[in-house]
Structure 1
Amino acid sequence: MTTRTPETPQKPAAPRPVRAAATLIVLRDEGRGLEVLMLRRAEKANDQNSGASVFPGGVIDAHDRSLHTQCSGLDDAAASKRLAVPEGGLDYYAAAIRECFEEAGVLFATDPSGALVRLDGLPPEQLAAMRDAAVQGTDALLALCAEHGWQLAVDRLTYFTHWLTPPGMPRRFDTRFFLAPMPAGQSVRPDGSETVEHMWLKPAEAVDPARGLKLMNVTRRILEQLAQFASADDVIAHARGLRHIPRVMPRLASGPAGLRPVNMEEPAYDEISLVDPDGKGHGRYAHEAGLVMRLSAQIVRVTGAAADALAHSYFVGTAGGDCALIDPVPADAAHVETLRAAAPGRVRWILWTQASAGPSVHAHDALAAAWPEASMAQPAPGEELTVGDARLRVLPGTGDEQARRFLLVEEHTLFTGTAPQPVAGDDGTGNIEWIAPGQGFVRRVLNGV
């Protein structure tokens, strides 16, 4: 049995700075179907992405706006509209092209005729000089375009997805990802400093554990998405048809495999956003018997091992004051002892959401011995219990006239036991925002369901 002390809510830490970034996913079809360009980053100390296989990309440079004059086919107004930003959208397109040239030696630019430049046809010494200039920064790329009459081919890039690094990471990036087919007449040449190797891989190959690539969560998830498409044309056509591209932000949480990102579609995501919005790592992506968690200032959850699954009991009330205990299940001596040790205050009420979950005679005696002053009488729908500084409103249950649900009014949280999830506001007041079930994770009531 694992027992954890409830986390006491702390004053939120100062938010970590978030840096705007752009990434270019370069695609090709070379007889094997869709392949994607992967670069291996150099090994560096204190770099969370050291040695990872990534797409070309990096942070927006303060001078990227100066590249606007060298961009063709898209102006800042159109780029900003596509990215749903007030202005500066073209910065992301320009930065994606700049970073791809700096890290991979691939330049998305057109010559005066409007054709994509073919760098492989240049003399080796000229190409080497261009690469040296590229690593000098934005101004060097601007001068290079001006010298040759080139324009950055931002209209060849297709906006694909938008990710924000989880709170709690040492460095956070708000990154826009673009797609583009590999230009003809060019070869990939890692810069040897930021990137030391390149690979053309089918997306499924890149995520295969047998390949052994170090992949960040965002990279892996995008590769898994790309693996659904047969060709570069297919995925680009899909991206061009997207009317709205939402921001994706995983969250960090702890569990049997240690600290890891939890993605938005995982069952634990809503709960983690509630209990650990700053990414300190005390949210959980897995439950276990004996786990004690403070979910909010007025809610402590204790998880026990029922017959065939884990089950939750909840303390509701003010720490150090009066509280109610909802569903002390399983109501055996061992779990009652765990509950007794975890109680944040004086237990005045012991409540059940389902009449069938009520205690046996033996369990009743154990609960009464632990909290002799607590009432175990089932309140009627419509009653309100005062628990410290909060109110616990009693609502009718479903499927059993003796069943109950309990709404913590101040935190808009409904304790449902094993009852089905209600729709928002089914208490007649519109106050339900969170569901605290008897099994599984706390979840948000969204869009009325």
Structure 2
Amino acid sequence: MFDALNRSAADPEGRPPRPSATIVVVRESPAGPEVLLLRRAERGDHNSGAWVFPGGLVDAGDAGCATCCDGVGEATANERLGVPRGGIDYYVAAVRECFEECGLLFARDASGAMVREDVVAGLDGYRAPLHRGETSLPELCRAQGLALALDALAYYAHWVTPLGMPKRFDTRFFVAEAPAGQAAMHDAAETVEHRWLRPADVLADRAAFRMLTPTLTTLELIARHPTAAGFLAWARALREVPTIQPRLGTGQQGRRPVTPDEPAWAEIGRLDPHGHGVACYDIQTGVPVRLSPHLIRVTAGNGSVMTGPGTNTYLVGGGPRNEWAVIDPGPSSAAHVQAVLAAAPGPIRQILVTHTHTDHSPATVALKAATQATVMGRVALHPMWQDPSFSPDRVLEGGERIAVDDGVTLRAIHTPGHASNHICYLLEEEKTLFTGDHVMQLSTVVINPPDGDMRAYIASLRELSTGEDLDWLAPGHGFLMARPRQAMEAIIAHRLRREAKVVEAMRRLGPSTVEQLLPAVYDDVPPRLHPVAMRSLQAHLLKLRDDAAAVEREAVWSLA
């Protein structure tokens, strides 16, 4: 009931989103790529007054265009869009909407040349009848001897409107270079203004342009390319176009769509499968969040560069006896301890600690005094950066199964690397792994020798990613994370790429100190974070030494 990641795109009433197509028209300029944006007329709906790309619904008349299309056939369109039939209709709809709304026509004449500006100007009288459904694009093509130049379009994105919206669309996005010599002109009905704009300029002045999420995301994507041709080439090279379906959430910015690249997206789908927009996309400190019948999260108000939005404390339990365990009591904060006690629906019997860094375990003392719960965990091998107050009643070795309540079982998994005493806990009945700092959301953890060990960290990640059947990760900082194996494999890949940069820096610079290697290895990290990055760099060097790939003599490192 809580896992909605694989639900269909239909809303709770079973209404499927309406097929639609959008075309992003780009052109070159001396200052970089420009895009054609249209401002919608005020109609009292959610996109009134918004700046958009040309686009709209796939009409029944679009299906009759197969015989007047050039460059892309039905089978090719179906394969490209991943649909069993009707793929070419989306291409045709994009061309038709572009012609209706801004007067640009992607078509070829009998000679195979793109239609000239004077020809398109002579077709202007078709635009309004097309919009009203009084004629169709096939009729226009047959009357004028034209073929739609569908191969001018590159398919690059697929957006589905969030559940819970009054109007929902299943929209395929295409990009095409503006037809040479043709001049755009808005239709003064659906759209009231048009402008050619550089994406970077629009993004720098967002307050002046009301935009929907897909428009904004597309502009950000184009802005990464120095030329329009570069963006087109990128779009044509895509082998797979994933479906992007935002989810409605609430938070400091009000009720809005949350995209799949945002941290809260997976959790919102789990908590609000029908799209009512009631789940929060912000981490709220001190506010209990019921993640499942057996799981509650309370976040401490200790947010920082190192702790993200704050440290998560999890309450696990709620079986027939309504008994609970706490995972990671958090920092020494009376307010946080009170928030955890208030969130517990029943007695707290166990306190489990993932590791003893000072944002995770110091509240153990106060929580134990209030509950008399049994404290479990491990003591670190090295005292630096550790919580000296932590004293477990039961030392866990890894592999122990802890019965919190009937049907609520935690299994301890020793995962050294970030810290020598790091333990992850698996809620077996829900396949949810509490990762502490072993896996973090949106960032990689600091590996700080001597207690931190990069070699052990990567080995622990590999064992977890291949040896456990997991559905969810519950990190020490951030929201629930779906696709655990993918998340851990991404961390391993990132660490190995960083290791490769260490090797390349030593090869290029020759024998070097850690201070000399740091700016070369972490040139993609802001200098203000270099003191923290220094710790992980030392951990990488020690791993290379243990792998017999590097040597250190009198604080100078070189390749073995």
Alignment TM-score, normalising by the size of structure 1:
0.87
How far did 1:236 drift? 1.7
How far did 1:138 drift? 7.8
Deviations 1:18-38 (A, max 9, x none): 122111111222554421111
* 1:390 paired residue among 397, 404, 408: 408
Higher mean alpha-carbon deviation, 88-97 vs 136-145, is at 136-145
User: In the TM superposition, what are the counterparts of 1:243-392 in structure 2 within 5 Å?
Assistant: 243-306=239-302, 309=307, 310-318=310-318, 321-355=322-356, 364=365, 367-369=368-370, 371-372=371-372, 374-376=373-375, 377-378=393-394, 380=396, 381-386=398-403, 387-392=405-410
Q: Counterparts of 2:103 and 2:139 in 1: how far apart (Å)?
A: 17
* 2:111 paired residue among 107, 110, 113: 113
Q: Given that residues 290 and 338 in structure 1 are in contact (C-alpha distance below 8 angstroms), is that contact kept between their aligned partners in structure 2?
A: yes
Alignment identity in percent?
42
Cα 1:48–1:157 change in 2 (3 A) is same
Q: Given that residues 322 and 388 in structure 1 are in contact (C-alpha distance below 8 angstroms), is that contact kept between their aligned partners in structure 2?
A: no
Q: Given that residues 61 and 137 in structure 2 are in contact (C-alpha distance below 8 angstroms), is that contact kept between their aligned partners in structure 1?
A: no
Deviations 1:309-329 (A, max 9, x none): 421111112277222111222
Q: Which has the higher strand share?
A: 1
Q: Counterparts of 1:183 and 1:365 in 2: how far apart (Å)?
A: 70
The DSSP-based 3-state class of the residue aligned with 2:140 is helix
User: How many correspondences in the alignment?
Assistant: 436
Q: Counterparts of 2:319 and 2:133 in 1: how far apart (Å)?
A: 56
Q: Counterparts of 2:144 and 2:350 in 1: how far apart (Å)?
A: 80
Residue in 2 that maps onto 1:86:
84
Q: Counterparts of 1:410 and 1:138 in 2: how far apart (Å)?
A: 60
Letter in structure 2 aligned against 1:242: L
How far did 1:88 drift? 1.4
Matched, 1:147 2:143: yes
Q: Given that residues 312 and 327 in structure 1 are in contact (C-alpha distance below 8 angstroms), is that contact kept between their aligned partners in structure 2?
A: yes
How far did 1:378 drift? 3.2
Deviations 1:35-70 (A, max 9, x none): 11111101111x111111111011212332111122
Letter in structure 1 aligned against 2:147: Q
Q: Counterparts of 1:275 and 1:150 in 2: how far apart (Å)?
A: 52
* 1:202 paired residue among 198, 222, 226: 198
How far did 1:235 drift? 1.9
Residue in 1 that maps onto 2:502:
none
Unaligned runs of 5+ in 1: 1-7
How far did 1:428 drift? 7.7
How far did 1:441 drift? 2.5
Higher mean alpha-carbon deviation, 415-424 vs 59-68, is at 415-424
Letter in structure 2 aligned against 1:313: T
Q: Given that residues 292 and 300 in structure 1 are in contact (C-alpha distance below 8 angstroms), is that contact kept between their aligned partners in structure 2?
A: yes
Cα 1:175–1:316 change in 2 (3 A) is same
Q: Given that residues 39 and 195 in structure 1 are in contact (C-alpha distance below 8 angstroms), is that contact kept between their aligned partners in structure 2?
A: yes
Unaligned runs of 5+ in 2: 5-10, 376-392, 441-459, 490-560
Higher relative contact order (CA closer than 8 Å, sequence separation 6+): 1
Letter in structure 2 aligned against 1:314: Y
How far did 1:171 drift? 2.4
Residue in 2 that maps onto 1:231:
227
How far did 1:121 drift? 4.7
Residue in 2 that maps onto 1:5:
none
Q: Counterparts of 2:253 and 2:28 in 1: how far apart (Å)?
A: 37
Q: Counterparts of 2:423 and 2:355 in 1: how far apart (Å)?
A: 6
The DSSP-based 3-state class of the residue aligned with 1:63 is helix
Higher mean alpha-carbon deviation, 134-143 vs 396-405, is at 396-405
Q: Given that residues 407 and 415 in structure 1 are in contact (C-alpha distance below 8 angstroms), is that contact kept between their aligned partners in structure 2?
A: yes
Residue in 2 that maps onto 1:60:
58
Higher mean alpha-carbon deviation, 82-91 vs 24-33, is at 24-33
Q: Given that residues 64 and 138 in structure 1 are in contact (C-alpha distance below 8 angstroms), is that contact kept between their aligned partners in structure 2?
A: no
Residue in 1 that maps onto 2:388:
none
* 1:72 paired residue among 56, 70, 73: 70
Matched, 1:417 2:456: no
The DSSP-based 3-state class of the residue aligned with 2:136 is helix
Letter in structure 1 aligned against 2:476: G
Higher mean alpha-carbon deviation, 214-223 vs 100-109, is at 100-109
Q: Given that residues 39 and 197 in structure 1 are in contact (C-alpha distance below 8 angstroms), is that contact kept between their aligned partners in structure 2?
A: yes
Cα 1:366–1:82 change in 2 (3 A) is closer
Higher mean alpha-carbon deviation, 218-227 vs 401-410, is at 401-410
The DSSP-based 3-state class of the residue aligned with 2:485 is coil
Cα 1:318–1:109 change in 2 (3 A) is same
Q: Counterparts of 2:423 and 2:28 in 1: how far apart (Å)?
A: 60
Alignment TM-score, normalising by the size of structure 2:
0.71
